[in-house]
C-alpha cells in the first residue's frame, strides 16, 4: 500500500495567496537560519502545495517572493559560491504523481529510463564538503543553491565525514548532516545542562548545532554522503571519469574514499530496473522507517545512468532526473492542554499528556507519553505549550519538546502530585519513575487481573469483575490469597453458585501447576515481561536459584544488562514475603525441563547454562502476521513459549542476528526487513513441521 497523499492547503483568493507566501517564506527563513520554525514539515508541505496549485491557476499573479521554483524555499542565503548549483528535489506524494514523473522523465530522455537508484531521503541539512588533496578544507550549506554559508567550524564534530580521504583526491562530497536518535537525546541533555531549551526534533537540532559558533560545548552529528563531483582544480582525468559514472558507482567510489553512505544501514540505496520495482522498494523502506536509528521523511528516486541524467537536465530549482517520494509526517506541532497522572499495576505513577487533537499517519492523536516527572522537568514543559509530538508506525506517541519560540507567556507550570492520585498514599520519589508507597497494593485489582490472565496463570473465570468482588469482600489482599480461598467463602458471594464456585476452585488448582516462568510473569516484576520471565526461569530453573542470584548472576540471563540486573534482583527481594506465601499455598516454583546453572568458580565466572537442544537450538526466531493451520489456536505468547521449548529464543524485532522469521498472513515491515537482510523465512505451516513433536 502506498503512503497517504499530503493534501494541499486551500487558497481561495489573492489575499489568502499573499498571506500563504508570507507564511511559507517566514517559516523557511526561521528553519534555515537557526533550525526553528513555527510550522512542522507536514504543515509546510501542505502550504507549499496550496501555493503551487493557486499559481498554476493564476500564472500572471505569481509573487516574486513565492517559495515555488526556489531552492530552500528562497529563504536561505550564503556567501560561498557553489561550483555547481546545489539544488533541491521536487516532491511527489501519491502513486499518480510518481507515475506522471516517470512518464515525464521518459519523454525528456526520449526513451524508457534503464535503471533507477532508490534510497532513503534523510531528514537533515544538505551540505557540500570540499576536499583538496584528500583533506577536508571547507564545509558549506546548500544556501539558495548558488551560494551557501561557510560552516567549516563544524569540521571534526561530524561522524562519517572524514577529515582525510583514503586517496589524495580533490573532490566535493555532497550529503546530509543529521542527528541520530541517540545523538539527539544526548544533544538535548547537554543543551539543558547549559541552560538552553531542548530542540524540538533531530532535524532542528542538526540545523541549529551546525551553525552554532563559540558554544561552550559540542555535540556529535552524523553525515551521509549522496553526491560526488570534481572541483575545477581537480584535473580533467578525474573530472571526466566521475562525470561518466552511474550514480550507484559514484556512491561506491565515495564509500571507498571513506565517506559514510546509506550502504551500511538497514535501508541502503539499491538499483532497480522498472518503476514497478521502484514502488516495491519504496514500500520496503516505508515499512522499516519506524525502526531506523535516524529520521527519514521520504524516499529518493534517481536515474542511475550518467547518460540519462545528462539527457534529463535540471531546472532552476531541482534536477529533472530525481524525485523525492514524501512519506506521511511522523511529527506534528500541537498544544499540551493538560497532564493526567495514572497509576500502573505495579504502583508506578505515570504522567500522560492531553493534547489538542492532531492527525499523524492517519490516526488522531489526543494523548502522548511523558515518561516521568524528571523528563518533564528536563524538557521544561509547561501547560499550554506548543509541543512537537512524534509517532511512527505502532510506536506510542511521545512529546519530544516544547516549541519554545512559539510561547506567548500565558503558559503555566505543570503541577506534580504530592500524594498518590489513586489511593492518597505517599509517593516514593527516590528514582526517576515515581511509585506509590503502597506499590502493587495501590492497584490490587489490576495486579490480580493481570496475574490471572491467559498469558500468566490462565485462571479461567477470574476476570476483572470477579477480582473486584473478591477485593471488596476482603477475601484477597494479594496474589497468594487467591489460592487460600475456600468453597464456603466463594458460595457466600453474589452470583457465585455451586458450579461457578467449583469451576473457579478447579482453575485455581490448575494454576498452581503452571511453570515457574508463568508464576514469575504473574508477579509482575518491574523491568521484565513474558519473554524475559521465561528466560529467567529457564536459566535458573527454580525460584530458590532466582532468589539467590545477585546482580552479576542475573546479568548472565540473555537480555538483562548491567542497568536492569540490580533492579530485577531488588524487585525479587521485595517480593520475598509474597513468594513465600505462594509456595506455602502449593504454587509450583520450578521450570519443567530446565537445569540450574553450574556454580560460579573462584573468579565469579560460570559456564553457560546447558542448551535446551531441540529443533530450534541456538536460533533467534521472530513471529509476525496471523498464524494458520496447526498454529492458529496459539496466542503470540504461546508461540513464544513453543519457540523456547524447542530450544530457540523468541524476539520481537528482526536484525542481522535473527535466524528465522515465521511470516503469517498480513506480515508487513518485519517480513520486508527479513527479505532485505537475507534472513530465512518460513510460513506457519513450514514452522509447524519444524516443531511438530512439541505441538502435541
DSSP 465: H
Give the span between the Cα atoms of 696 and 85, in whole angstroms.
68
Q: Are 358 and 389 in contact (CB under 8 A)?
A: yes
Domain ranges of the chain: 14-68, 80-326, 331-417, 439-512, 516-584, 620-695
Residues in a beta bridge with 244: none
Question: Residue 107: what pLDDT?
Answer: 93
Alpha carbon separation from 520 to 367, 532, 579 (Å, rounded): 31, 10, 9
* Same fold? 331-417, 516-584: no
Selected from 1.10.10.10, 3.65.10.10, 3.30.470.20, 3.40.50.10190, the CATH number assigned to the domain covering 620-695 reads: 3.40.50.10190
Q: Are 586 and 483 in contact (CB under 8 A)?
A: yes
156: Cβ–Cβ under 8 A, 6 or more apart, which residues?
Answer: 163
Give the span between the Cα atoms of 504 and 482, in whole angstroms.
10
Question: Residue 581: what pLDDT?
Answer: 96
Q: Which of 504, 104, 599 is nearest to 319 (CA)?
A: 104
Cell 553526491, residue located = 227
Active site (catalytic) residues: 121
Query: Quick one: cell of 348?
Result: 508506578
pLDDT tens digits, 297-347: 899 999 999 999 999 999 888 999 999 998 887 888 899 999 999 988 788
Q: Which of 335, 173, 308, 298 is nearest to 244 (CA)?
A: 308
Question: Residue 441: what pLDDT?
Answer: 80
Q: For domain 439-512, say whether CATH 1.10.150.20 is its number.
A: yes
8: exposed, middle or buried (Cβ count in 10 Å: 0-12, 13-18, 19+): middle
99: Cβ–Cβ under 8 A, 6 or more apart, which residues?
Answer: 275
The CATH architecture annotation of domain 14-68 reads Orthogonal Bundle (1.10)
Which residues of the chain carry a pLDDT beneath 50? 1-4, 73-74, 601-611
The superfamily (CATH) of domain 331-417 is Nucleic acid-binding proteins (2.40.50.140)
Alpha carbon separation from 600 to 550, 553, 559, 607 (Å, rounded): 12, 9, 20, 8
CATH class as words, domain 80-326 = alpha beta
Angle formed at CA 515 by CA 525 and CA 592, multiple of 5 degrees: 125
168: exposed, middle or buried (Cβ count in 10 Å: 0-12, 13-18, 19+): exposed
Per the document, the length of the chain is 696
Question: Residue 82: what pLDDT?
Answer: 92
User: How many other CB atoms are there within 10 angstroms of residue 240's CB atom?
Assistant: 11
Give the span between the Cα atoms of 635 and 644, in whole angstroms.
14
Average pLDDT, the chain: 86
Question: Residue 685: what pLDDT?
Answer: 92
The third-level CATH classification (topology) of the domain covering 516-584 is DNA polymerase; domain 1 (1.10.150)
Dihedral angle of Cα 131, 133, 135, 136, to the nearest 10 degrees: -10
pLDDT tens digits, 184-240: 988 888 888 888 888 878 888 888 889 888 777 888 899 999 999 988 876 656 767
Give the span between the Cα atoms of 199 and 209, in whole angstroms.
10
What is the chain's alpha carbon radius of gyration, rounded to the nearest angstrom? 30
pLDDT tens digits, 467-498: 999 998 999 999 999 999 999 999 999 889 99
Amino acid at each position: 500500500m502506498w503512503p497517504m497523499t499530503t493534501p494541499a492547503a486551500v487558497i481561495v483568493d489573492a489575499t489568502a495567496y499573499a498571506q500563504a507566501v508570507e507564511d511559507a517564506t517566514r517559516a523557511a527563513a526561521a528553519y534555515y537560519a537557526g533550525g526553528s520554525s513555527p510550522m512542522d514539515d507536514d504543515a509546510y508541505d501542505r502550504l507549499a502545495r496550496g501555493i503551487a496549485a493557486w499559481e498554476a491557476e493564476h500564472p500572471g499573479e505569481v509573487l516574486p517572493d513565492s517559495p515555488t521554483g526556489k531552492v530552500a524555499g528562497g529563504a536561505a542565503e550564503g556567501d560561498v559560491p557553489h561550483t555547481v548549483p546545489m539544488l533541491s528535489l521536487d516532491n511527489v506524494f501519491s502513486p499518480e504523481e510518481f507515475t506522471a514523473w516517470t512518464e515525464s522523465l521518459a519523454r525528456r530522455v526520449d526513451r524508457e529510463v534503464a535503471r533507477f537508484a532508490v534510497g532513503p531521503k534523510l531528514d537533515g541539512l544538505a551540505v557540500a564538503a570540499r576536499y583538496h588533496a584528500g583533506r577536508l578544507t571547507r564545509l558549506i550549506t546548500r544556501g539558495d543553491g548558488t551560494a551557501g554559508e561557510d560552516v567549516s567550524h563544524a569540521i571534526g564534530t561530524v561522524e562519517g565525514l572524514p577529515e582525510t580521504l583514503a586517496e589524495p583526491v580533490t573532490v566535493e562530497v555532497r550529503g546530509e548532516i543529521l542527528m541520530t536518535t541517540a545523538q539527539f537525546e544526548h544533544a538535548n541533555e547537554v543543551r539543558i545542562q547549559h541552560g538552553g531549551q531542548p530542540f524540538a526534533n533531530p532535524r532542528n537540532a542538526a540545523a541549529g548545532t551546525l551553525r552554532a559558533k563559540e558554544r561552550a560545548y559540542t555535540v556529535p552529528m552524523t553525515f551521509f554522503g549522496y553526491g560526488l563531483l570534481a572541483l575545477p582544480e581537480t584535473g580533467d582525468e578525474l573530472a571526466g571519469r566521475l562525470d561518466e559514472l552511474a550514480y550507484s558507482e559514484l556512491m561506491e567510489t565515495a564509500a571507498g574514499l571513506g565517506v559514510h553512505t546509506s550502504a551500511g544501514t538497514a535501508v541502503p540505496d539499491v538499483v532497480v530496473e522498472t518503476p514497478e520495482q521502484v514502488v516495491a522498494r519504496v514500500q520496503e523502506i516505508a515499512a522499516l522507517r519506524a525502526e531506523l536509528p535516524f529520521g527519514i521523511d521520504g524516499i529518493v528516486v534517481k536515474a542511475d545512468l550518467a547518460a540519462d541524467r545528462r539527457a534529463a537536465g535540471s531546472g532552476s530549482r531541482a534536477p529533472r532526473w530525481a524525485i523525492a517520494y514524501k512519506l506521511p509526517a511522523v511529527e506534528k506541532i500541537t498544544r499540551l492542554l493538560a497532564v493526567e497522572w495514572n497509576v500502573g499495576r505495579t504502583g508506578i505513577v505515570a504522567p500522560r499528556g492531553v493534547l489538542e487533537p492532531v492527525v499523524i499517519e492517519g490516526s488522531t492523536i489526543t494523548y502522548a507519553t511523558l515518561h516521568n516527572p524528571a523528563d518533564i522537568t528536563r524538557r521544561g514543559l509547561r501547560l499550554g505549550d506548543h509541543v512537537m509530538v512524534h509517532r511512527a508506525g505502532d510506536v506510542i506517541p511521545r512529546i519530544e519538546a516544547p516549541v519554545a519560540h512559539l510561547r506567548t507567556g500565558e503558559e503555566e507550570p505543570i503541577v506534580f502530585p504530592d500524594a498518590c492520585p489513586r489511593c492518597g498514599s505517599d509517593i516514593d520519589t527516590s528514582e526517576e519513575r515515581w511509585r506509590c508507597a503502597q506499590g502493587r497494593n495501590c492497584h490490587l485489582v489490576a495486579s490480580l487481573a493481570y496475574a490471572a490472565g491467559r498469558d500468566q496463570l490462565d485462571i479461567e473465570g477470574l476476570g476483572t469483575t470477579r477480582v473486584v468482588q473478591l477485593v471488596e469482600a476482603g477475601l484477597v489482599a494479594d496474589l497468594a490469597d487467591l489460592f487460600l480461598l475456600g468453597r464456603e467463602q466463594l458460595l457466600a458471594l453474589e452470583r457465585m453458585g455451586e458450579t461457578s464456585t467449583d469451576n473457579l476452585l478447579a482453575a485455581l488448582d490448575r494454576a498452581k501447576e503452571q511453570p515457574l516462568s508463568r508464576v514469575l510473569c504473574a508477579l509482575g516484576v518491574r523491568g521484565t515481561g513474558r519473554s524475559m520471565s521465561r528466560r529467567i526461569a529457564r536459566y535458573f530453573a527454580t525460584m530458590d536459584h532466582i532468589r539467590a542470584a545477585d546482580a552479576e548472576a542475573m546479568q548472565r540471563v540473555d537480555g538483562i544488562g548491567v542497568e536492569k540486573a540490580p533492579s530485577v534482583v531488588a524487585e525479587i527481594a521485595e517480593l520475598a514475603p509474597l513468594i513465600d506465601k505462594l509456595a506455602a499455598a502449593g504454587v509450583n516454583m520450578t521450570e519443567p525441563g530446565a537445569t540450574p546453572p553450574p556454580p560460579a568458580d573462584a573468579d565469579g565466572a560460570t559456564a553457560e547454562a546447558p542448551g535446551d537442544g531441540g529443533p530450534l537450538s541456538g536460533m533467534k526466531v521472530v513471529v509476525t502476521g496471523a498464524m494458520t493451520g496447526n498454529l492458529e489456536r496459539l496466542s503470540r505468547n504461546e508461540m513464544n513459549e513453543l519457540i523456547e521449548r524447542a530450544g530457540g529464543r523468541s524476539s520481537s524485532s528482526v536484525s542481522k542476528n535473527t535466524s528465522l522469521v515465521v511470516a503469517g498472513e498480513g506480515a508487513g515491515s518485519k517480513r520486508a526487513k527479513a527479505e532485505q537482510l537475507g534472513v530465512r523465512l518460513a510460513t506457519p505451516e513450514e514452522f509447524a513441521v519444524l516443531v511438530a513433536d512439541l505441538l502435541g
